[in-house]
Amino acid sequence: MAYKNVLKYSDVTPRADYLNRRQLMGGAAGLAAGMALGPALGASKYSTDLKPNPLEDIASYNNFYEFGSAKGDPANNAHMLTIDPWSVEIDGMVDRPGSYGLEDILTKVTQEERIYRFRCVETWSMVVPWVGFELNQLLDLAGVQGAAKYVAFQTLYRPEEMPGQRSVSLEWPYREGLRLDEAMHPLTIMATGIYDEPMPKQNGAPLRLVVPWKYGYKSIKSIVRVTLTDKEPQTTWNMLQPNEYGFYSNVNPEVSHPRWSQAYEKPIGGGLFAKRQETLMFNGYADEVASLYDGMDLVVNH
Ligand SMILES: Nc1nc2c(c(=O)[nH]1)N[C@H]1C(S)=C(S)[C@@H](COP(=O)(O)O)O[C@H]1N2
Ligand SMILES: [Mo]
């Protein structure tokens, strides 16, 4: 996919100018062949003011076990993945189940830039300027039925293009899940790009979930199936090690991983001498999401 008229974040300072210019450029910015990122990307009230990591960091230090388990494997191997055409099967407790083509989805949702903190359970973190749309828009297209309580997600299973799937490091396909209220929350997005670029394949092209108040593994990549259900879905890391990776996986500096503390994190890209920083409750999104968990024991429901 080729981009015309790419405006790089780093080309323009200060940030206010960048956003204004992007708004002026409107639909001209962010047009991929056959896949429009949509009109006018503006500042979102949900974006952090923190400075995003450069694209080179975000697209070279990855977890995407379908392409290998070392941090550099996805960037080396993900070029094998074909992403065009792409469709998402939406099934289970919805009024309009079926196969939804991505190009068609993108004509019906509103995309915007969301600059989010991102915190991996392994204690590294970064700041990513995603482009995407709220998951609730996709769920509304399918029509969620009243009895649905959870949303289950699956990644593509295609071992010919995903060498990691030819071994049994994880149970394939990779799967994740959210409670319906978490899925409907405006912070929860389906991301299709980073900066003004289409999503790099190693970051989960062409469509991946981003749930910024949860550990990174909840943000499942290269999604092909979304299922509405009334039962808590099985999730990949929980199936592997239930005591280490709970269903909720909310970022919580007070609940340690059995093998390490979660009190601090290391921003990536800072080099050898990067300072660790304190991890924030719900990764800094407590004002927006803490009420979702009122009355819940967050140690039991880790
Ligand atoms: N399908 C799939 N999705 C995945 C993973 C994976 O291995 N496979 N890794 C997860 C983990 S552990 C993290 S931290 C994030 C990393 O996203 P990034 O590479 O875009 O930073 O993707 C998550 N989504
Ligand atoms: Mo992770």
Domains of the chain: 9-293 (3.90.420.10)
Return the ligand number nearest the Cα of 170. Answer: 1
Rounded Cα gap, residues 111 and 109, in angstroms: 6
| Residue 3 tokens, joined | 């981009």
What is the chain's Cα-based Rg?
A: 18
Cis ω before 85 (30° cut-off from 0): yes
For residue 251, the number of C-alpha atoms closer than 13 Å in the C-beta half-sphere is 30
In this predicted structure, what is the pLDDT of residue 8? Answer: 39
Question: Residue 254: which residues within 8 A CB-CB, separation 6 or more?
Answer: 262, 263, 281
For ligand 1, mutation pick of 209, 221, 266 (most atoms within 8 Å of CB): 221
In this predicted structure, what is the pLDDT of residue 272? Answer: 72
Element (H, E) at 125: strand 124-134
Rounded Cα gap, residues 78 and 199, in angstroms: 12
Q: Are 245 and 217 in contact (CB under 8 A)?
A: yes
Closest-CA residue, ligand 1 atom 24, reads: 220
Residues of the chain below pLDDT 70: 1-43
Rounded Cα gap, residues 165 and 127, in angstroms: 29
Rounded Cα gap, residues 204 and 200, in angstroms: 7
Q: Is the CB of 63 under 6 A from ligand 1?
A: yes
Q: Which atom of ligand 1 is nearest to the CA of 122?
A: 14
In this predicted structure, what is the pLDDT of residue 42? Answer: 59
Q: Which atom of ligand 1 is nearest to the CA of 202?
A: 19
Rounded Cα gap, residues 35 and 46, in angstroms: 24
Residues within 5 Å of ion ligand 2, judged at the Cβ atom: 63, 120, 216-217
Rounded Cα gap, residues 266 and 120, in angstroms: 10
Rounded Cα gap, residues 167 and 203, in angstroms: 21
Question: Residue 84: which residues within 8 A CB-CB, separation 6 or more?
Answer: 1, 34, 206
**Distance from the alpha carbon of residue 122 to the mean position of ligand 2, in angstroms:** 6
Q: Are 87 and 224 in contact (CB under 8 A)?
A: yes
Pairing status of strand 208-210 against strand 197-198: unpaired
In this predicted structure, what is the pLDDT of residue 47? Answer: 98
Q: Which atom of ligand 1 is nearest to the CA of 204?
A: 20
Per-residue burial over 59-84, b if 16 or more Cβ lie within 10 Å, else e, is bbbbbbbbbbeeeebbbebbeebebe
pLDDT in tens, 224-274: 999 999 999 999 999 999 999 999 999 999 999 999 999 999 999 877 777
Q: Are 35 and 102 in contact (CB under 8 A)?
A: yes
| Residue 228 tokens, joined | 């509405």
For the whole model, what pTM was predicted? 0.89
